[in-house]
Amino acid sequence: MTTPSIIVDLFCGAGGLSYGFKNQGFEISAGIDIDENCRYPYQENIEAPFIRTDVTEVTREQLLELFDPHKIKILVGCAPCQPFSKYNQKNSDPNWKLLESFGRLISEVKPEIVSMENVPQLKKFKDGAILRTFIDTLNKAGYHISFDTLFAPNYGLPQSRSRLVLLASLLGPISLPAPTHKEQHVTVRDALSDLPALSAGSVDDFDNLHRSGGLSDLNIKRIKASVQGGSWHDWPEKLVAKCHKSETGKGYRSVYGRMSWDKPSPTITTQFYGFGNGRFGHPDQDRAISLREGAILQGFPRDYKFVPAGEKVRLTHVGKMIGNAVPVTLANAIASAVKLHLEEHQNV
């Protein structure tokens, strides 16, 4: 029998990482995040307390209060990845320092297990100095560490998303999860083909999250001219925006396109509900994908709740929560690796 464990989730968001650990039978003590919009989905789906606070202000004593001293402490989290993203060309977002706070709390509390997830660009951010500092902090504290970039479709996610995953343990060597779907990826068709059809700007009668953003008359013409896996390069000249006709705009091919039915989707961003924000057009319906479809492509179950019943659904708020989430399918794999590690190193 393994020693009981308990988890605190830093930067928990709407609960994607916690939900993966919950699926694997782990006890979740609490989630911590600064975004109040995440309170309802976290508490409703994870069934654990949501603590709204800035992680930079969390103290050793406050964090220890959330752990049971008789259980193995597991600290997990995904510091906001926008500062390290390729889309943040100037690297000017001050939130990159949040990873330092994660490292500080690890060194002060010494949880037996740590899981950190972020964008692969973290390896190159400031010539890799931020990641090296984080790893050095763990090394000095005596952790065994494994980290690498994982391609999410290899773990069953119907989305072409790569993530940097780090696992660390004071108990002994720890391994990253082994791929489960390397030979056959789950596709957009597998994930979405049986959802009810929608038109642009409409909402499903039975699922308030299965709603699509509206489109202008011009964008309706554009999406009708779009092909699966394509972009605005497939349109007749009269539909192409002036910015894309310029030399600087010609390289932006991954916008105004449809997803392909028989491949994983593009990476789901916080603005996936907008046709012009990426290749987020539905494979054959003339609209962008719905909030629910984006959540499914992020691995959330179809009944995952993001907004209380009767409350207005705001595309920007919910889209941000979904796009920022750790994909649940990848979280399941991470949690499985931690579970296997505990079984190997903590038999009592």
Residues 6+ apart with CB under 8 A from 140: 107
Residue 81 is among the residues annotated as catalytic for this protein = yes
Q: Would you call 8 exposed, middle or buried from its count of C-beta atoms within 10 A (0-12, 13-18, 19+)?
A: buried
Digit-coded pLDDT (tens) for 179-200? 999 989 999 999 999 999 999 9
This prediction's pTM: 0.91
**Sign of the dihedral defined by the CA atoms of residues 126, 116, 266, 318, in that order:** negative
Give the DSSP letter of residue 258: B
pLDDT-derived band at 263 (thresholds 50, 70, 90) equals very high
Q: Set out the domains of the chain in order of their start, with CATH numbers.
A: 5-179+326-345 (3.40.50.150)
Listed range (39-53, 78-92, 94-108, 291-305) with the worst mean pLDDT: 78-92
Among the listed residues 139, 151, 134, 143, the one whose alpha carbon sits nearest the alpha carbon of residue 174 = 143
Which residue among the candidates 12, 38, 81, 243 is catalytic per the annotation? 81
pLDDT-derived band at 127 (thresholds 50, 70, 90) equals low
Neighbours of 114 (CB within 10 A): 27
Neighbours of 135 (CB within 10 A): 18
